[in-house]
Amino acid sequence: MEKLIKITTLSILFAFLLVSFFCIHPAGKPNTSMMDDYFIQNAQAQTGSNNVVAAVLFDYRGLDTLGEASVLFAVASGIFILFSGKDDKKENGRGE
């Protein structure tokens, strides 16, 4: 029974992969390019930045960059907390 479930799951997954392999969208040819065209046409004039990628990163999608920066802040804070806990234990052990 278990073997049957495994085989069916695997075959379904394989079928999905096969279908997606043959029906995959060609790279560089988006279905709708309205947004891309808008950015390319207006990003330089609206943000004054020659680099459209930077314009998208820091202006149109600034919230995303804020999230990335906060993740880095959280990582640093987490390591801060992790290592300070280790030190406290050591000091306690020495004191006893």
Partner 1 sequence: MIKKKMEEENRDKGMSKVVKTISFIIAIPIIIFGLYVILHGHLTPGGGFPGGAIIATLLALFLVAFGSYTVKSSHKELLSSLESLALVSFILLAFFGLGSTFFHNFLANTANIFGKSISYGVNNGYLPTGGTIPLMNIAVGFEVFAALSLVVLIMYTGQSGGGK
What Rg, from alpha-carbon coordinates, does the chain have? 26
Q: Count CB-CB contacts under 10 A for residue 43.
A: 20
Q: Looking at 9, 38, 46, 67, which residue binds partner 1 (CB under 8 A)?
A: 46
Q: Looking at 10, 15, 19, 76, which residue binds partner 1 (CB under 8 A)?
A: 76
Size of the site for partner 1 (CB under 8 A): 34
Q: Looking at 70, 93, 95, 96, which residue binds partner 1 (CB under 8 A)?
A: 70
Chain residues binding partner 1 by CB under 8 A are 41, 44-51, 53-55, 57-59, 62-63, 65-66, 68-70, 72-73, 75-76, 79-81, 83-84, 86-88
